[in-house]
Amino acid sequence: MKPLDHQQQQARTWFEALRDRICAEFEAIEREAGSGARFAYTPWDRESEGIAPGEGGGGVRGVMKGKVFEKVGVNVSTVGGRFSPEFARTIHGAGEDPEFFATGISLVAHMANPHVPAVHMNTRFLVTTKRWFGGGADLNPPIPYEDDTAFFHEVLKKACDAHGADYYERFSKWAEDYFYIPHRKVHRGVGGIFYDHIECADDAEFDANFAFTRAVGEAFLAAFPPIVRRRMGLDWTEADKAHQLEWRGRYAEFNLVHDRGTIFGLKTGGNIEAILMSLPPLASWS
């Protein structure tokens, strides 16, 4: 992979630092619950035809299975190369030149207690003939609580409002539209924000959009752990667990059929286990 320029290295460094902070917070929650669970980290190299090991970049898959987090994956990756001609036509700015660079963090947590919502978060920086940021976070509770939903959205809205007067309205609507399962005619969860193709035509735009992307990461850290701590000690029934497992099936359907990140990883020679870490450890279909 080509040497990283200043913007690419800045983004990569932030995503990896955010990974470290998130994992430390999740491990702290496990310790509070009396568990010694820790993340196990597995590095990987991007594999693609015509690319020697190490030349296409790679990443690190982090997975923890504990008392509170039944399965949580926090992945970082930095990859580069050339898209296939067919796939390049589907990627912003890659239609005329298939060379690309991508760095980012992706997180999915499936919780042991059905009262604790699952969650997804990712932020990324891509370079083709254009440069842009994308990402977001969304809450996926099997048993929704209005105060959890309101708090999660409140924190995200505050982060959005500091960077764009219309950001929350735009990006929460985008999440509502994106995290929808058409064949089920249901939303995947209670929403959050989703944004993509936030272009950086010059250094000033990069600085502004990178600042917003960092704010999204900070908002996730401010919003999700308090919800986990609020719900993780609640009692639950076998009926609650059965409902959670069926809901997880819906989550799996979305990620396998519609999720852009899953498709991107599979099309670019990403690590299969890292790509599919979003799938729950257990699920059921009636």
Contact 82, 98 (CB under 8 A): yes
Model pTM score: 0.94
Enumerate the active-site residues. 120
The count of C-alpha atoms lying within 13 angstroms of the C-alpha of 174, restricted to the half-sphere facing its C-beta, is 15
Q: pLDDT tens track of the chain, all 286 residues?
A: 789 999 999 999 999 999 999 999 999 999 999 999 999 999 999 876 566 666 789 999 999 999 999 999 999 999 999 888 888 888 988 888 999 999 999 999 999 999 999 999 999 999 999 999 999 999 999 999 999 999 999 999 999 999 999 999 999 999 999 999 999 999 999 999 999 999 999 999 999 999 999 999 999 999 999 999 999 999 999 999 999 999 999 999 999 999 988 988 888 877 888 889 899 999 999 7
Q: Residue 237: CB partners within 8 Å, gap ≥ 6?
A: none
Domains of the chain: 6-275 (3.40.1500.10)
What is the rounded distance in angstroms from the CA atom of residue 23 to the CA atom of residue 242? 28
Contact 217, 137 (CB under 8 A): no
Contact 199, 164 (CB under 8 A): no
Residue holding tokens 């820790």? 38
pLDDT in tens, 173-207: 999 999 999 999 999 999 999 999 999 999 999 99
Q: Residue 39: CB partners within 8 Å, gap ≥ 6?
A: 23, 26, 27, 62, 63, 64, 74
Residue holding tokens 């929808």? 180
